[in-house]
Every structure is written in structure tokens, then in C-alpha cells.
Structure 1
Amino acid sequence: MYRPNWIELDGVVNMRDLGGMVTTDGDTVRPRRLLRSDNLQDLTPESVEVLVSRLGLRDVVDLRTHVEVAKEGDGPLRAVAGVRHHHHTLYREDSAESGIPAAERALPWETDERRHAATGAATVASEVSPEPPSEPEQRRSPGQSHDEFWSEHYLSYLASRPDSVVAALHAIASSDGAVVVHCAAGKDRTGTVVGLALKAVGVPDDLVIADYAASAERVAAIMDRLRVKPAYAANLRDKTVAQQSPTTDTMRLLLTTLDERYGGALGWLDTQGWTPSDTERLRRKLLDD
């Protein structure tokens, strides 16, 4: 039975260690290798000390957009020598190059909301809140369930920015210490990348699904954090905990779709130039003593 290894630190509410998961071959994901988290902007000096000195943090994989980073500013880990930062946005049109400063631009999912309202489209593969957006019925295709909608949404990350997804996995594999993957809430973008990493080293579906769904325990606290943040406050004003909570069926459908379309996560990675030596490097990182 899966039990989340929560890391309780001041400044985050959805951080956990993926150590302890057992692969189909009987190997075990080692502690202090791969962490996942919500936004790291509010970490206290004491929390930073725990991450760096006690947990051995060496790399941060930031999946937020350029707009989020600009509006939220540099987090405290940016000032820590020896901690490398890898920024890999999962939105195709999100760029640091624009005539409008990033801090003044709308978030990508807000732009998608406006486009949806203007065109009357039936469904939009976009985030309408940090992680995940709310789920108004008109955003789904007729007959499409919540879980079908969101599994397709996560696949859109792979379609829109496969370069960022693969780069994030390379950053995990190349880290010489603990690496934390995060976005805003630490659920959807983070869940997709972490899920691929776990599947690539042989973690069974049931554990990947259980870890993904564990974030539901922290959704109320996540929303409390983000509602007072400049980048997210207005967009979260009318969202509910129920709308924001992940379910097991969403990740199950995502993994099933990867199996059906590509023969699994490694099959998709193979289409992006990922090699068996990359897989072995990731396995050494996460599984070796």
C-alpha cells in the first residue's frame, strides 16, 4: 500500500519524497533522489537549510511558465550556491522573448480562457488555474468525463513541449544529489513529469497513480497559498477544492493512453530521441545504492 513520504517544511504544503517505491523488477527508488513540490517561493531560511544540508538538494526543475516566474520573482533557493536551476515551461507559446514584459502578461491559461470565451469553443486543452484549472462543463467535449478531459490535457504537455519534458528528465538523471520537480501547485505539470520518470525506471502503474492522487490531500492548503499570490489570486477566486482535486482515474487514463498509442512511457520517450542509455542513467540515479 502506498503512503506518501511527506516533507513538512515551512513555505510548502505539497512536497514529498518519491523514495520507497518498488519497481516491477524488485528495485527500490532510493530516498533523497527525487522530490516533488508546489511553488518554492515561500521557503524559510530554515527550510532551505533542511533541503540543502539534510536532504542534499542539488537541482531544481521548475516547470512554471515564464510569466509565473516573472510575477512571483526569484525564490530563496536561487541564492544558494551549488543548487542548479532548470527552467522548462510546458507551454508552446510561453516565451521570455516578447514585446510585453512577462510580469505584465497574462498567464497562458488565462489567455486560453479568453480565447475560449471569444470563439465559443467546446473544449480547450489549457490550464484555467495553476494546477489544475477548474472544470466548467462547457470546456469538455460532449460525453467527455472529467478524467478523460484531464488525461488528454496532460498529453497536450507532451505534444506542445516534448523538448521541455525530455529536458526535465535529463536534469533529473544528471543530478548528483536530490532533485526537486515543482510547478505552482505541484500536481499536474509536476505529476506528468514525475510520472514519466517513475514509469521509465519501471515503477508500476498503481504506485504512479497513487502518488499522483496523493496531492488531493493538500489541495485546500495549496489553494490557500496560491490565493494570496500575485500570479494566481484573481484566477483562483471562484475555484473550489472539489474542482481542483486530482483523481486516480485521470492518471490511469493517461498511462493507458500512453500504452495504447506508444507502448508505454518509454515508447513515447523513444519518439523524442530518448535512448536506452538515457534510461539506464535515470535508473542509476533513482535506484542504485
Structure 2
Amino acid sequence: MSDETPHENRPDRWIDLEGVVNMRDSGGLPTRDGGTIQPRRLLRSDNLQDLSEADVRQVVDALGVSDIVDLRSDTEVSTEGPGPLWQVESLTHHHHSLFGDNRGVTAEQALAMPEHSTRPIRDAGFWSDHYLGYLAARPDSISAALDVVSRSSGATVIHCAAGKDRTGTVVALALDAAGVPHDVIVEDYALTGERIERIIARLMPRDLYGNALRHQSVDDQRPRPETMRTILDTVASEFGGAQGWLREQGWTDADIERLRQRLTT
């Protein structure tokens, strides 16, 4: 049976705030069994450093966020400093870097730019290898991030710097585990391309990322659908899908069902 799902009538899931450009809700995405991902359960975003006071109220009061999962490296977190959401007592912050603990990380590494080259060839194969590297190097962080989603009392925001690569990998596994068809996950991943220029413009003035980004074109950073298709196909063939991958990390059937129920009911 085809994994394809009609693309019409998809809800607009963008969340427009002053301080981010790549935040959206996974709510409304269909599952294979005829259900949907519930709104205000799993949000994805670029970094949250620039939220205004109005944005903070929107995140906490309107979106009902209770947990923040930060996938950035220790270097990024320490360089950027605490954002305004750290002052909100009702929120729980979880730092699950996809790089090694206490490892110094360059902007090139954080943004998946090969060092020693100013014009790397970053086709879908490059990005697929890079994302699979997250699964190989930091399965503990990815598993922990998904555990947060499964236990959250409200919405969970998963973010990195751009909300594209690290966030895209973790959110894709969450959606796959919940039964969202692969073509829908691919489409959700590629949606970031609609705002890639704004994402880069937002990161450019930041000391940590600006110099690295000046050596790249917009197309170098644009998400490619075939990249996510490769990730999902690889996880399916090697582990039987995201649920099988989670079992490899020690999750029980009850743990997986908790994640699925949290996202779909």
C-alpha cells in the first residue's frame, strides 16, 4: 500500500512571532490510521533568543508550552546566553545537544558546513549522511528529547539554531513513531524552505554564525525533500521505523505508546 497521503486541505501551521521565523505546530498532520497529530503538543522552531515580551506571553499562555528541548551544542548555548523563556518559572528547559558533552563546536559544525572548504557540494546525500550521524553519535540525546515530548503536560518546543537540521531529525522521528506517513513528514521538513532566506538573515548578525554563513549560498542551506526521504527509508530498513529505533535505545512498548498517545489523542 502506498505511503502517500493527499496534500490538499493541509492546515497552515506557521506560528508567527516577532522573535522567530521558523516556528510551526505539528498539529493537524494525518496519521496512517486516520487520526491526526493534536495541536499544541509538538512545536518546532529556530532559536528562541529574541522573543519579545508579547512572544513570551503567546508561547506560555496561548500555545500552552510547558517544555523546551534545546538541541544546540554547549558552545552555542554558552555563547548565546539564556533567552527570555529562562525567566518563566512554569517552563522546564531540557538541553540535549546532538554534539558531544563539553565539546567545543564551531559554527560550521553546528550549521552542518564542512570545514576546510568555502564551496562544499552539499547535495541530498551530504545532508542525509549528516543527519544519520546524529542518530549514530547522540542517540541518547534524541531518545531523551522524545521522552520529554511523551511526558510533557503541555506543548513541547524542540529547537536548535535554524530549526532545520537537528530539529528536523528529531521531529521526524517523533512523527514517524506516531504513525505519520513518510510523505507528510518529508513535506513538513521541506516546509522550512519557504523561510530559509529569513532564517539565514536572522542568524547572519550573530557572532557565532555570521562569518560561516557569509561563505554559503542560500541554496546550500535549503532543505531537500529527498534528504528526509533517505533518513526515513534508512531508519525503516535498519530498525523497522522510528518505533524500532526507540526499542534499540531501551524503550518499551509502553514507552512508545505513551509517545504516540501524547501526540495523537
TM-score (norm 2): 0.91
Q: Match of 2:50, SS?
A: coil
d(CA) in 2 for partners of 1:38 and 1:282? 23
Q: Please say if residues 68 and 92 of structure 2, whose CA atoms lie closer than 8 Å, have aligned partners that are also in contact.
A: yes
Do structure 1's residue 271 and structure 2's residue 248 form an aligned pair? Answer: yes
Match of 1:72 in 2: 80
Do structure 1's residue 231 and structure 2's residue 226 form an aligned pair? Answer: no
Do structure 1's residue 87 and structure 2's residue 64 form an aligned pair? Answer: no
Match of 1:121 in 2: none
Residues 224 and 138 of structure 1: CA distance in aligned 2, closer, same or farther (over 3 Å)? closer
Any unmatched runs of 5+ in structure 1? 97-104, 111-126
Do structure 1's residue 146 and structure 2's residue 146 form an aligned pair? Answer: no
Deviation (angstroms), 1:133: 3.1
Deviation (angstroms), 1:196: 0.3
Output the amino acid matched with 1:133: M
Q: Match of 1:6, SS?
A: coil
Deviation (angstroms), 1:285: 1.1
Match of 2:69 in 1: 61
Match of 1:282 in 2: 259
d(CA) in 1 for partners of 2:71 and 2:30? 26
Match of 1:157 in 2: 134
Q: Match of 1:231, SS?
A: helix
Output the amino acid matched with 1:16: R
Deviation (angstroms), 1:215: 0.4
Q: Deviations over 1:37-94 (max 9, x none)?
A: 00000000000001101110100000000000011000000000110000000012x4
Deviation (angstroms), 1:230: 2.1
Q: Please say if residues 60 and 83 of structure 1, whose CA atoms lie closer than 8 Å, have aligned partners that are also in contact.
A: yes
Any unmatched runs of 5+ in structure 2? 1-6
Match of 2:165 among 176, 182, 188: 188
Match of 1:176 among 146, 153, 157: 153
Q: 2-11 or 191-200: which moved more?
A: 2-11
Do structure 1's residue 251 and structure 2's residue 228 form an aligned pair? Answer: yes
Do structure 1's residue 35 and structure 2's residue 43 form an aligned pair? Answer: yes
TM-score (norm 1): 0.84
Match of 1:261 in 2: 238
Q: Match of 1:181, SS?
A: strand
Do structure 1's residue 133 and structure 2's residue 141 form an aligned pair? Answer: no
Q: Deviations over 1:106-135 (max 9, x none)?
A: x2464xxxxxxxxxxxxxxxx3x52x4379
Q: Please say if residues 64 and 89 of structure 1, whose CA atoms lie closer than 8 Å, have aligned partners that are also in contact.
A: yes
Q: Please say if residues 133 and 244 of structure 1, whose CA atoms lie closer than 8 Å, have aligned partners that are also in contact.
A: no
d(CA) in 2 for partners of 1:68 and 1:43? 17
Residues 214 and 45 of structure 1: CA distance in aligned 2, closer, same or farther (over 3 Å)? same
Match of 1:201 in 2: 178
RMSD: 1.9
Q: How many residues were matched structurally?
A: 256
Q: Please say if residues 134 and 244 of structure 1, whose CA atoms lie closer than 8 Å, have aligned partners that are also in contact.
A: no
Match of 1:118 in 2: none
Do structure 1's residue 45 and structure 2's residue 28 form an aligned pair? Answer: no
d(CA) in 2 for partners of 1:258 and 1:224? 33
Q: Please say if residues 27 and 41 of structure 2, whose CA atoms lie closer than 8 Å, have aligned partners that are also in contact.
A: yes
Q: Match of 2:172, SS?
A: helix
Percent identity reads 51
Q: Please say if residues 119 and 215 of structure 2, whose CA atoms lie closer than 8 Å, have aligned partners that are also in contact.
A: no
Residues 167 and 187 of structure 1: CA distance in aligned 2, closer, same or farther (over 3 Å)? same
Q: Match of 1:5, SS?
A: coil
